[in-house]
Structure 1
Amino acid sequence: MTPLDKNRIRSIDLLKGLVMVLMALDHTRDYFYQSSSVLSITDPENATFPVYMTRWITHFCAPTFSFLAGMSVFLSGKRKTKTDLSIFLLKRGLWLVFLELTVIAFAWYFDIRFRNIDLAVIWCLGISMIFLAAFIHLPKGVILLLSCLLIFGHNLLDKVHFEGSALWSVLHELSHVELSDTHTLNIIYPIIPWVGVMSLGYYFGNFYRLTVEASARKRLFNTIGFLAVALFVVVRWINVYGDPSPWKHYATVGQTVMSFLNVTKYPPSLLYLLVTLSGAFLFLANSETWKGKLVDFFCVFGRVPFFYYIMHLYLIRTLAAVAAELTGYGWQLMVQTQFDIDLKDYGFSLGVVYAVWVGIILVLYPFCRQFDAYKQSHREKWWLSYL
């Protein structure tokens, strides 16, 4: 099985790498697929199944990465005191929030006036780390209890609204806050359920201690994974709780299945987290012995996720601007000034999107491999832990 006397666990790096590569597919589709709206492609009434699934499979990315980030905090924290770990989490969390508001905000819109600023996945990871800085001082059982309360109970707040409250939106409601006549703050990742996901990952990092047998960990993770899938099916079928958007029957089986699986991401509903985190548990349970060049390939991305994240955003956006220029729309089309991306009639078929995505991954791989090698050979450099 995977040697657990090292700080890095190969199966965790592998899963991180896989979801990072999948994430690039979603972002490539955002700026290359010809669609009237990038936010409605999972609507069963209008979506085609290939486009729907292209979007749906990327749902696994954010919750899996947040969960694994919590695991990684536990594993790296074994070499630190709780106080030192808390300080690190606070600093790294604030650093991620700063980057979300600056470097990443520009990458999404290419707008030097920053008329739109998103509180999205990097912001959410940063805030979750700040909360985790406090949670790690609690007993393990309390961390598990708090995590489950946040994940299983937050949909009780779905019908609670405070008109115009940015604070409530930050906590639990997708919202667009007008900062001025020209500037908007888009609160895409409300924090309550996401904090629970990262702290849950921190708790389950305990099961990678040397005192835990690999076979016992495999049984536990498989059990949790299959139970989560079963619970998703039962709760979704009942159609009363767990997601603000109930599913419904359509004229075709395909549309009905799409409706059943069309769970809410902003904020992530209980059902969304059940179906996605079940995949994380099942994958971790069964991938510890995997080896080979393909495993090594994805592990590279998993060891340098933030470096890869910044690189892939800027590469996708630059290529999209070039494509817009070459197809007669002008590169200025990629300077977006509104949240719901409006690319006019620009765009390509889904096949082209997949081809561009594969090309992006292959271009980024040597840069990520080189940076990974640098990180591994310069562990003494403190600033590398922030990238």
Structure 2
Amino acid sequence: MSTLSSNRIASLDILRGLVMILMTLDHVRDFFHETALKADPMDPAGTTLALYFTRWMTHFCAPAFVLLAGVSAYLGAQFRPPKEAALLLIKRGIWLIIAEILIVTLGISFDPFYRTIILQVIWAIGWSMILLGLLIRTSFRVILVTGIILVAGHNLLDMAQLPDRSTATGIAWQVLLTSPGTQYAWDTIHRINVIYAILPWTGIMLLGYCLGVFYKKGADPENRKWILLYTGTALTVLFVILRVINVYGNPTPWHPQQGWTRDVLAFLNTSKYPPSLQYTCMTLGPVLLALLLLEKARSPWARWVAVFGSVPFFYYVLHFFVLHACLAIVYLLAGYPVAAYYNPAMYLPFCFRPINFGYSLPVVYLIWISAVIALYFPTRWFARYKQSHRQWWLKYV
């Protein structure tokens, strides 16, 4: 098993690093692409192939990130008593929820008045860690079965008549299971955007925790390779079967478009909000196969990529603040008035981000590459600092 250090598994860090790099592309597109706030890049009828696949390939980021968080939870718990492991997961989960609200939201919006709270992947991971912490004292089988039920079964709610979303019960259903990205206002100024429903992502984390048993110390590498191969292939094939049958596993069925190219785009356009069974199979199948391919990666590029994956939360927070600071500078240099930095009408209120602003896709890619290279150096510094220091707070960063 290749490792970056004596206690890290290289393939996990490399995949996490690739996820961080791809994720940065998606957020650069949000901040800097000319149509990011005006058009859906996944709409087969109105997108281009380049724009569609720029967005589509970033769909692999969140499922991989959450799955690997589950693997890390298992590896972190294997040498701790169940009570201690459960408490650590719960404390980390609470910290992540607070960090999403106070730190990540600020990086995304640059609004010091917090007129909108944005709840997405860190929020979902935080709650998932809390729930995993509560389950960890049961049994491995309970965690596995719960994960399968959540991932495979939550689309049954697509067929149910749920309470009205304006009621407390309806809001609870949305936040826990069915939110497609829902905005709630508690007064005329402040609102909450619940982008990630909690429990479908919890299911993915629970399955990641169970996958961790194949990465524990003393695990048979050959057995792990076969598990990754068979499971990754099975999930990918299951996605195709479910999509062709077109009955279950996604909130809306896919429909033929005008031409085979648009048909392919529609076929691949599955629900991320919340992550449907089809979406989860489409993304996690290739993710597991990627883990298999990365088992023996030792090249310089792999070590470079792994730096991003070794401190993912640090990089996640840092990249938002750096990208948004660059956006603010470009905004001011373009002559926009400082007083107009905030647009209360926007669904996602990126300050310093006018709706009719942005650059072409090639420029977006150039900004992305430049940002990743620039962010590598502070990320490498923190990774080395974390490896050589043992302060208690480093467990949470």
**What is the aligned partner in structure 1 of residue 210 from structure 2?**
203
1:132 aligns with 2:140: no
- The code of the aligned residue for 1:25 comes to L
**What is the aligned partner in structure 2 of residue 257 from structure 1?**
264
Any conservation in 1 of the 2:38–2:355 contact (CA below 8 Å)? no
* TM-score between both structures, scaled by the size of structure 2: 0.93
Gaps of 5+ in 2: none
1:173 aligns with 2:178: yes
**What is the aligned partner in structure 2 of residue 273 from structure 1?**
280
**For 2:193, what is the secondary structure of its paired residue?**
strand
- Comparing 335-344 with 46-55, greater Cα deviation is found at 335-344
1:151–1:184 CA distance, 2 compared to 1 (3 A): same
Any conservation in 1 of the 2:119–2:195 contact (CA below 8 Å)? yes
1:153 aligns with 2:153: yes
**For 1:244, what is the secondary structure of its paired residue?**
coil
1:253–1:185 CA distance, 2 compared to 1 (3 A): same
1:363–1:38 CA distance, 2 compared to 1 (3 A): farther
**What is the aligned partner in structure 1 of residue 362 from structure 2?**
351
Alpha-carbon shift at residue 239 of structure 1 (Å): 0.8
For residues 86-235 of structure 1, what are the structure 2 equivalents within 5 Å? 86-158=86-158, 159-163=160-164, 164=166, 165-174=170-179, 175-235=182-242
- The code of the aligned residue for 1:104 comes to V
Alpha-carbon shift at residue 260 of structure 1 (Å): 0.4
For residues 45-56 of structure 1, what are the structure 2 equivalents within 5 Å? 45-56=45-56
**Inter-partner Cα distance in structure 1 for 2:82 and 2:39:** 41
Alpha-carbon shift at residue 43 of structure 1 (Å): 0.5
Any conservation in 2 of the 1:7–1:75 contact (CA below 8 Å)? no
How many residue pairs get matched? 386
1:327 aligns with 2:328: no
Alpha-carbon shift at residue 216 of structure 1 (Å): 1.4
**Inter-partner Cα distance in structure 1 for 2:77 and 2:60:** 26
Any conservation in 2 of the 1:110–1:336 contact (CA below 8 Å)? no
**For 2:118, what is the secondary structure of its paired residue?**
strand
For residues 274-289 of structure 1, what are the structure 2 equivalents within 5 Å? 274-289=281-296
Any conservation in 2 of the 1:18–1:298 contact (CA below 8 Å)? yes
- Matched-pair identity in %: 40
Please give the per-residue CA displacement for 1:22-64, whole angstroms capped at 9, x wherever unaligned: 0000000001000063661111110111001000000011110
Alpha-carbon shift at residue 21 of structure 1 (Å): 0.8
- Select 1:295's aligned residue among 299, 302, 315: 302
1:331–1:294 CA distance, 2 compared to 1 (3 A): farther
**What is the aligned partner in structure 2 of residue 364 from structure 1?**
375
Alpha-carbon shift at residue 80 of structure 1 (Å): 1.5
* TM-score between both structures, scaled by the size of structure 1: 0.96
**For 2:156, what is the secondary structure of its paired residue?**
helix
**Inter-partner Cα distance in structure 2 for 1:340 and 1:5:** 40
**Inter-partner Cα distance in structure 2 for 1:38 and 1:12:** 36
1:27–1:330 CA distance, 2 compared to 1 (3 A): farther
Please give the per-residue CA displacement for 1:274-295, whole angstroms capped at 9, x wherever unaligned: 0111122101122111112111
**For 1:236, what is the secondary structure of its paired residue?**
helix
Any conservation in 2 of the 1:4–1:209 contact (CA below 8 Å)? no
**Inter-partner Cα distance in structure 2 for 1:290 and 1:46:** 39
1:36–1:298 CA distance, 2 compared to 1 (3 A): closer
**What is the aligned partner in structure 2 of residue 386 from structure 1?**
396
**Inter-partner Cα distance in structure 1 for 2:30 and 2:161:** 31
Gaps of 5+ in 1: none
Any conservation in 2 of the 1:116–1:339 contact (CA below 8 Å)? no
1:358–1:149 CA distance, 2 compared to 1 (3 A): same
